[in-house]
Amino acid sequence: MSHGKIITLSSGAPLPQIGLGTWLSKPNEVENSVEIAVRNGYRHLDLAMIYENQDEVGRALKKVIPSVVKREELFITSKLWNSSHKPENVEKELDETLKLLGLEYLDLYLIHWPVAFPPGGFFPPHPTKKNEVAIDTETSLVDTWKAVIELLKTGKVKAIGVSNFTIEHIQGIVDATGVWPTVNQVEAHPLLPQDDLVEFAKKHNIHLTAYSPLGNNLIGQTKLVDYPEVKEVADKIGATPAQVLIAWGVYRGYSVIPKSVHEERIKSNFQQITLSKEDYEKIFAIGKNRHTRFNIPVTYDPKWDINVFNEPIERTATHKVKIA
């Protein structure tokens, strides 16, 4: 079982350090995986509207609340999708999320990506440019953040934050509102340590949640779990490579949300281990002089052969997103 480590957020809320991710699961898989996870001790669930499976999560929650766990014992996060960034649509999407889940409130609600799409579908096509998504250049991140701040008054969310935001994005919304995000959820693994962002977050008491902690699953690329260094550490301490990578994130102070729909892996990922400083540094060295990101919004829907930012992700420029 997990050590049961709890992170105390700036809001004062307790966040279980190991959670279950629900992204990229096939139909009818998430309901089963969420039920398995909760029955085996998970109390932190990470969701999003764009994952298109919150109805399944809701069905699973009905099976475990209150027979297995009380609602207040779960920490449930969801996210506002890009096409609902207009202030008048923010609470509407939250209400839809709560309806799908069968809940009265979320523990944490995040702006999923720092880019706005016009309303009308998850990936509205550009009106004139083939294979490009339409971008809402009028709605700023500050506009959206102000609307998210207002949600705190409704009781429908306990805390608010962001996801995939850079230092510049966060500083921009804070300069305009004075309100810091409680959490920034980002892709984080040994190939993407983002040390500058980690330092900034610690300085301003922003907790980082690591998604895709096991790295990539791309054809033609070596999986992180197959890196020799990861296997060596795993063999040394009698753990799985996945457990080593999860422990790497825990060592750095993240909460970590590995995704799986396989019962044994769900259980195994929750069997938290601790890395020594030596083993942590061995894994950390994998990412030396690297900055490898695997996730951009287009990967959420394989039907779309587009780059949401219309340029390589490694060169995504903050000036292309309207911050204020």
Q: CA geometry: angle at 185 spanning 230 and 100, to 5°?
A: 115
Which DSSP string corresponds to 36-94? HHHHTT--EEE--GGGT-HHHHHHHHHHHTTTT--GGG-EEEEEE-GGG-SHHHHHHHH
For residue 66, whether the previous peptide bond is cis, meaning omega lies within 30 degrees of 0, is yes
For residue 299, the model assigns a pLDDT of: 42
Residues 6+ apart with CB under 8 A from 48: 22, 23, 54, 78, 79, 81, 112
- Mean pLDDT, residues 233-257: 97
Task: Count CA within 13 A, CB hemisphere, residue 52.
Answer: 8
Mean pLDDT is lowest, of 240-249, 286-295, 309-318, for 309-318
Name the helix (H) or strand (E) containing 183. Answer: strand 183-187
Residue 319 has pLDDT above 50, yes or no: no
Question: Backbone phi, then psi, for 6, in 5-degree steps?
Answer: -120, 135
- pLDDT (tens digit per residue) in 127-139: 888 778 889 999 9
pLDDT-derived band at 26, boundaries 50, 70, 90: confident
Mean pLDDT is lowest, of 6-15, 131-140, 173-182, for 131-140
Residue 316 has pLDDT above 90, yes or no: no
3-state SS assignment for residue 114 = coil
Residue 175 lies in a domain: yes
- pLDDT (tens digit per residue) in 31-43: 999 999 999 999 9
For residue 72, the model assigns a pLDDT of: 98
Residues 6+ apart with CB under 8 A from 6: 14, 15, 16, 17
Residue 304 has pLDDT above 50, yes or no: no
Which DSSP string corresponds to 185-252? EEE-BTTB--HHHHHHHHHTT-EEEEESTT----TTS--GGG-HHHHHHHHHHT--HHHHHHHHHHHT
For residue 218, the model assigns a pLDDT of: 59
3-state SS assignment for residue 16 = strand
Is residue 82 within 8 A of residue 112, CB to CB? The reply is yes
- The alpha carbons of the chain give a radius of gyration, in whole angstroms, of 19
Is residue 243 within 8 A of residue 273, CB to CB? The reply is yes
Mean pLDDT is lowest, of 84-88, 213-217, 235-239, 303-307, for 303-307
- pLDDT (tens digit per residue) in 249-275: 999 999 999 999 999 999 999 998 999
Is residue 6 within 8 A of residue 14, CB to CB? The reply is yes
Query: Hey, what are 57's tokens?
Result: 């999560």
- Mean pLDDT, residues 198-227: 88
For residue 3, the model assigns a pLDDT of: 65
First to last CA, the chain: 45
Mean pLDDT is lowest, of 2-11, 61-70, 161-170, 251-260, for 2-11
Specify whether 105 is catalytic.
Answer: no
For residue 303, the model assigns a pLDDT of: 39
Whole-angstrom distance, CA of residue 134 vs CA of residue 116: 9
Burial class (CB in 10 A: 0-12, 13-18, 19+), 145: buried
Residue 301 has pLDDT above 70, yes or no: no
Average pLDDT, the chain: 89
Residue 227 lies in a domain: yes
For residue 293, the model assigns a pLDDT of: 83
For residue 33, the model assigns a pLDDT of: 96
Residue 162 has pLDDT above 50, yes or no: yes
CA nearest neighbour of 15 among 103, 82, 104, 110: 110
Residue 108 lies in a domain: yes
- Would you give the DSSP letter of residue 27? T
Select which of 51, 109, 227, 300 is catalytic: 51
pLDDT-derived band at 223, boundaries 50, 70, 90: confident
pLDDT-derived band at 2, boundaries 50, 70, 90: low
Is residue 217 within 8 A of residue 211, CB to CB? The reply is no
- Domain count across the chain: 1
Residue 80 has pLDDT above 70, yes or no: yes
Residue 68 has pLDDT above 60, yes or no: yes
One-letter amino acid identity for 252? R
For residue 28, the model assigns a pLDDT of: 82
We report the CATH number of the domain holding residue 37 as 3.20.20.100
- pLDDT (tens digit per residue) in 191-205: 999 999 999 999 999
Task: Tell me which residue range forms the domain holding 50.
Answer: 6-320
Residue 1 lies in a domain: no
- Is the pTM above the cut of 0.95? no
